[in-house]
Structures are given as structure tokens and as C-alpha cells.
Amino acid sequence: MGSLDPPGTPSRRFPQRPESVAAARRFVRAALAGAASDVVDTSRLLVSELVTNAVLHARTRVEVSVRVLDDRIRVQVSDHRPSLRLVPHECPPYAGTGWGLALVARLASRHGVDADEERKTVWFELRPDGPPSPSGWEATTPPSDSGETVTLVDVPDALYLASRQHRHALLRELALAASTGERFGVRPEDLATAQDMNNVISACVTAALEKQPPDADIRSLPLSVPADSTPAVLVLRRVLDLAEEAARDEHLLTLPALPRSRVFHQWLFDQITDQLAGAPPTAWTVVPREPGAGPSELVPWDAGHLRASRVPTIAADERNRIIAANGPAADMLGWQADDLVGQRLTVLIPEHLRKRHLAAFTSLLLTGRPRIVGRSVPLPALHRDGRLVPVRLFIQTQEAADGRTVFIAQLTPRGAASAHSPRTPGRSRHTAPRESDGPPSPTAPERGRTTSGAEAGMSALERLSLLADTGSALSDTLDLDEGLQRVGRILTQRLADWCVVDLFGEHARVDRVCVVHRDPGRLRPEAYEGGLPPVSEAARGPLARVLRGAGPLLLTETPPPSRAESPLDAHYLDLFRRLGASSAIVAPLRARREVLGALTVARVGGERPFVEEDLSLVDDLVRSLALGVDNARLYQETRNIAERLQRSMLPVLPDIEHLQLAARYAASSTTAQVGGDWYDSFVLPSGGTAMVIGDVTGHNLDAAIAMSQLRSMLRGIAVDRQEPPETVLHRLDLANHSLHREATATCLYGLVKRAEDGSWELEHSSAGHLPPLLTTEEGDTRYLEEGSGLLLGVSPDTPRPRARNPLPAHSTVLLYTDGLIERRDESLDGAMARLRRHTAALAREPLDVFCDELLIRLGADSADDIAVLAFRPTPPS
């Protein structure tokens, strides 16, 4: 390309206004008339980005010059704030801001920045036939040479990236809005201060990150912050609060921050101002959080962790689309995991709850206020064949590496017991934030192990103490996973550097259920736990031999890779390679003449390797451990049988003309999920419809058995005698008194009858049960407190009262057990008043929505079982 004639460099000045961006594009196009179209287009794009940065951040007039040389084009953008240095940073694909410098770095053949006392000039060159330079921008430094050190402890990369993008997007939109006269209560001088301080923080963190190891997900960053930053940080916080308010009111395109980002920003600003005032640092990982911003959300999103999880889990993005699903979730809902990816999340939500889901999801994005995030909520999921699957839903949010928010949903079947709380994919229940993922160093300090136990041999008393403590750790909890974690922590404190437990599951599958390291910061359990390759005939390694019944085996060195004759062998050797080990013992877990799994304990470094004398101790350990595992599994099997029995006793509701019925049952989210709550409804030969709800005292198999006996006896008495409700309850109490184990229970028995004129009436008697709640179509509520008598099993001969109440058309009568309303540290009156408010708000909803909404709003995290039975009379159309 020839030089311009006459010689000269076209340049133009532009004012500090948004319109200057378009004007600069037109100027570049005119200055490059006759140049190749792709060069012109690229130049206009890059000038547009650089002028935008200057208008928003430098806030001075801008000068643009274009030089056409023999083999290249050079474009310069200058402003008059040389002290405001560039803040380049990586921009993930979903970032809404910050692409300007990144685009220049990727598309220009050469680029750079020059500054003197008067101006700062950012320039780029394009060669029509030359490839872009792969180099990036020079490392940034904080914009002040005299600064104070502020240390941010345990900063999660993904969350910081998302919060930074959000800050930049909000401030950018405020600046654009201000140019049109809309300020949202932000003064121009405050907006300028907030933008400058935001750039200072980004520059400081960027400079600190460049000195950190690249593979760490959670870091501690020393920042060199200007000593006089406190007033500007307070202005930045105030401006962002006003911007968040505007976003919640839908005045900005940017959505409000979700809870964890709000809390992170508060922590970030507090750390800067507090430490500048002399306070010590406070780690992010110890800051208390609200639901939706819990510490488990520090884990960056990783689809591999989700797919390896044994808990049915599905992940969705901010567009409400499924981005990952594991096999257990797909199997439970009748899908193939790959077929779910890309589908709208509503494909798994029953039709009557879809409107509610979309409203709640939109509300979360617009307000940032979660309703069920971080809570265990009972509701139905939709199977592919159309049937409903009762589950407990547990949702948490995580940050993807590119700054997106990912919603992680665990679906625990309510038909199968689960004693432990839902786990977040990617985070072990008892691990501290990690620092690296590499194998531990052979010379790592021996923290956490006693000298007597680890380096000088164990005395008889120490051996007995270890055996007793590991046995009690497993027996003191009903949760097998929790118990194994406790055992692992004891073993890594007194015996080994790390340990692993592998257990046989269904269909001879082997699962790695527990990985514990004495230094939690050096371990990511989620990277090791999950399903293992099968124990094939070709498997000859130490783990395979032990799983077939050999051992315990002493490994004085790591087997070479050539000994890996099967996928299982290779997987086991990879564990040693990644965690490191100078010696190890692998021992089988045997109970009732069956191998349940294997325990591996390993030591790193050569101070005191395992020797033959340690085999007997480990053999005693695995005997106790195997007994605990066997007992825990037997308990879980019993628990599953009891809940299946309990659920099998829940009836199919009758189909009554002009009378709608709906019922729900949800096991406790915290107990053994076996209890005595029940409901029933059936049509009597006389034509009336019986409505029953009850609650047997207790949360165990005995309660479930007593519940089934009472339910069967009550139906038999009611159908055979067809007597008034109080008489039926009296006979039930007598029958209960004749049982070998008389139950103490509450019960409400009602008869719903329709008169010839089409009106409906409820006649009921209560044995100590909570009163029915009547809600009219208009939202008026009233508890039907008449007809209340003593509990069953207290005094069978005491007369029982009866109540009769007319039922207005389209009114809803709710029968419920105490798990729906009772909460610790709350009065019963307050709980019942809250229930009235919710039913009033749901008065016009379909009955299925009415019941599910009550469980979602009131049944989340309930420590008790919940049963609800609702009915609604409707006149002929």
C-alpha cells in the first residue's frame, strides 16, 4: 500500500461524549478510503472500543490519528489523563464488558501504549497480509506508587471474575444513562469517583494475580492500594447500591447481582476500608452468608464433578437451560443424560408448577433475592412418561470459569431414604478451601500426627484408643458418608497422611466414597470420589486383590505403571501418583463372610514407612470399620423398607363429582424420613366422603407400623359402621387400646356431604389434631376449631365432640400435620397465622398448585414429616 500524497497524518479531536464513538468510526473510514475492506472494518472496530474506553474512563477530549505507511496502518487514540493506566484483563466469552483491550490484542499486528506528562496514547498497527501478534498487554501496576498493603484472604477466582464483570457493567450503563440525562440519583462527580476507584481495584487485583500460581482456584492476594482510598471506596459502594436498585427496577439492561456477589462486594470493600484503618484481614471463607451465598458456592463450576456424583443432579444456566445432568438424575426421570442437555428446565417441571417456576426464576434474576436457593424443598418432578416423581429439591449456585452463574439442583427421591443433607457437586462436606491439586510433597511437614503414633510406633494404649475412637466415630452417626469422613480424619491425624475407602455398591460396582488427607488444603476429594472401573478378570493390582478377599497387603513402594493390567489397576496407581506415597497398606472390609470394600492408608515421605508390624493394627481397624459399614447399610435398608411401607399406605384419592381433592406427603429433610404421618380419603356406602389425617408420635419404624394399623382400622370401622365422626374416633381409640403396643396419636376424621340443593357440609371430630383451615375463594380464612378432643391412646372412654360447618363453593379446606407449620423458637399462634396468610394468597390457585406451593413455602427444611389433604367443592357449571 503506497503512502498518502500529500504527506501528513490525518487526525481529529472529539469531545467527551458518547456520540464521539460513532464520529471516530466515520473519521477512520474516511481516512482509510481505498484500503482493503477487512482492514478498514477491523480499524473501525478497534477504534470504537478504544474511544469508548476513553470516553467512559478518561473523561477528557479524545484525539484519533491515522497513518497509512508502506506496509501497515497505524491508528492512535489519545486522552489527557496519563495517570489513569490501562487495566487489561482476560474476558471470558460471556463477559458483557472489558473486551476493548482484549480485541486490540487479538486482532492487531502490533499494539502498545505510550504516556508522557500530558497525554496517554493507545495505538495499534494492522498489516493487510500479516498475522496478528500473539502478545498481550504489558503487566499493569496500581496507579499509585505510594500505597498500603491490603490482603484479601481466600479469594475465589470464579466469584471475583463474576463480581468484577458485574461492577464494570453497572458503571458502564450508569455512564451511558447519565449522558442522556438519567442519573438514578447518582451525582456526576460521584460516578466519576466510582469509575476511577473501580479501575484502581481492578488494576491492583490484576497486578496481584499475575504474581500468583496459575492453577489455584482460591488465593490470598496482597494488594498495593493507595493510602487515601477509603472515601473513594465508600463512594463506589454507594453508587453500586443505587445502580443495583435501578437494575432491580428494570431501568438497566444489566441484571441485579445474585446474593453471593452482593456479599462478596461488601466483603471486598470492607476489607479495603477496614485494613486501611488498621484492622486485620478477614478471610472470605469465614464470612457468614445468607441462603444462596453459602461457602459451598466457593467451588467453581465443573461439569465433570456433577457427572461423577452419586446424587441425582442437574445443572442449568441463567437462560433456564439444562447444561449438564448425571446418570442418576436422568435414570430417575426417564431420560438419557445427553438428551437432557440443551432442554429448557421446564421439561422436568409439572405443568401446574411451570408458571410458578418461571415467575420465581425471573424474580431471582431481577431482584437477586432467592426463594428456595440453599433450602431443601419437597415438590414433584416430571418423569418423561408424564407421571410425577416426589423429590426433595436442593438448589445452590456456583460460578463458571467464564463468569456465568450455574444453578445446581440435587433431586433426592422422597421414596428412598437419605439421612444426610444434600451435597454440592465439587465440594466435599468437610474439606477446607484447597490451594493446589498436585500430589503432596514427599518432604511435607508432618502436621496433625502425634510423634508417638506416627513416628515412634504405637503403644498398646494408643492402639486401643485409636480403635475405640474410629469405632465410635462410625457408630455415633446414622449417615455412613459422615461416619467415614470422621474415621478418615482420625486416621490421618494419628496413623497416615491420607486414606481412601472403596465400597461395593449395586451390581458389583465399586465406588470411592471417602478420600481424606491430613492437610485438606492439598486435596480436592471430588476429583477422586465416584465410580471406579470394574473388578475385571484382568485386574491384578493391590486393590483388585484386596477386593477379591486378599490382604491386608503392605506396599513398600508404588507399583510401576507397567503393572497396571486393567483400568482399575491404572486408576489405583494414578491415585498414588497424584497424592504421593512412600508406603501404604490396603486391607479388605469383611462382614458376614462378605467383602464390602477396601481401606487404603498411605504415608508420604520416608521418616517412618509402614512395616509388617502395622498390618495387625490395620487388620483390627478394618474389622471394626467393616462392622460399622455393615450396620449402617442394614439401618438404611430398614429405613428404606419403612418408608416404602409408609408410602404404600398412602391411598389413591377417590374421584368425586364436583369435589376436588389433592394430597401431598413429604418426609423430613433432617431425620430418618420414617414417621407416623398419614392421610386417607374414601367414599362411604352412604355416599359421604371420608377425610382423614393423622400423626402417630415418633419418627421410626414403630411409628410407621402403628400408623398403618390405625389407618387400616379406621377405614374398616368407618365403612362398616357409617357412624358420625366422633363415634368412629371413639371406636378407633378402643381398637388402639387393644393393640400390643398402644399408639399415641392425633387424628381428624371428617365427612364431606353434598345436600340436594348442591351445597356442601363438613362434619368432623378431632382427636387432638390441629384444626382444619377453611379458605374462601375471596381469601378469607378461618380455623374450624370446634370438635376438638383428646389424643388417641389417652382416655378411650372420654366422650368426643363433633362439629358441623357449611362449605362455600370454591372454598378450600386444608387438613395438615404439624410438620407443615411448627418451627423451633416460634409460637404456635405465629405459625398458624403464617399458614393463614399463605392459604389466603393461594385461594384461587388450582388445588395441585395450592398444595405444592404450601410445601415449597412452608415445608422447606422441615425437621418433621408433612402430610396435607385439601378438598374444594365446586358447583355444577
The predicted pLDDT at position 158 comes to 75
Are the beta carbons of 448 and 519 closer than 8 angstroms?
A: yes
Are the beta carbons of 870 and 813 closer than 8 angstroms?
A: yes
The predicted pLDDT at position 718 comes to 94
Cβ-based neighbours of 833, under 8 Å, separated by 6 or more: none
The predicted pLDDT at position 76 comes to 93
Pairing of strands 594-603, 676-683: unpaired
Rounded Cα distance, 567 and 497, in Å:
25
Architecture of the domain whose range is 451-639: 2-Layer Sandwich (3.30)
> CATH for 11-126?
3.30.565.10
Cβ-based neighbours of 290, under 8 Å, separated by 6 or more: 259, 263
Rounded Cα distance, 685 and 703, in Å:
30
CATH class of domain segment(s) 298-413? alpha beta
Q: What is the largest CA-CA distance in the chain?
A: 116
Q: In angstroms, what CA-CA distances link 440 with 445, 491, 553, 697?
A: 10, 17, 23, 52
Residue type, 305: H
The predicted pLDDT at position 655 comes to 93
Q: In angstroms, what CA-CA distances link 181 with 172, 189, 235, 422?
A: 15, 14, 20, 49
Q: Buried b / exposed e across 675-709, counting CB within 10 Å, b at 16+?
A: bbbbbbbbeeeeebbbbbbbbbbbbbbbbbbbbbb
The predicted pLDDT at position 290 comes to 55
Q: H/E/C letters for each residue in 559-628?
A: CCHHHCCCHHHHHHHHHHHHHCCCEEEEEEEEECCEEEEEEEEEECCCCCCCCCCHHHHHHHHHHHHHHH
Pairing of strands 760-767, 788-789: parallel
Residue type, 122: V
Are the beta carbons of 265 and 167 closer than 8 angstroms?
A: yes
Rounded Cα distance, 547 and 535, in Å:
8
Give the length of the chain. 877
Q: Matching CATH topology for 298-413 and 451-639? A: yes
Q: What's the CATH superfamily of 649-873?
A: PPM-type phosphatase domain (3.60.40.10)
10-residue mean pLDDT profile of the chain (877 residues): values are: 48 89 92 86 90 85 89 89 72 59 82 87 82 57 64 83 84 82 86 88 83 67 89 93 86 80 88 92 74 47 74 86 90 91 91 84 72 80 90 81 78 54 38 34 35 53 86 77 88 90 87 85 69 86 89 82 78 85 91 90 84 90 89 76 67 92 81 72 94 85 80 93 94 85 88 91 96 96 95 87 95 95 85 94 94 88 85 87
Are the beta carbons of 205 and 160 closer than 8 angstroms?
A: yes
| Residue boundaries of the structural domains of the chain | 11-126, 147-288, 298-413, 451-639, 649-873
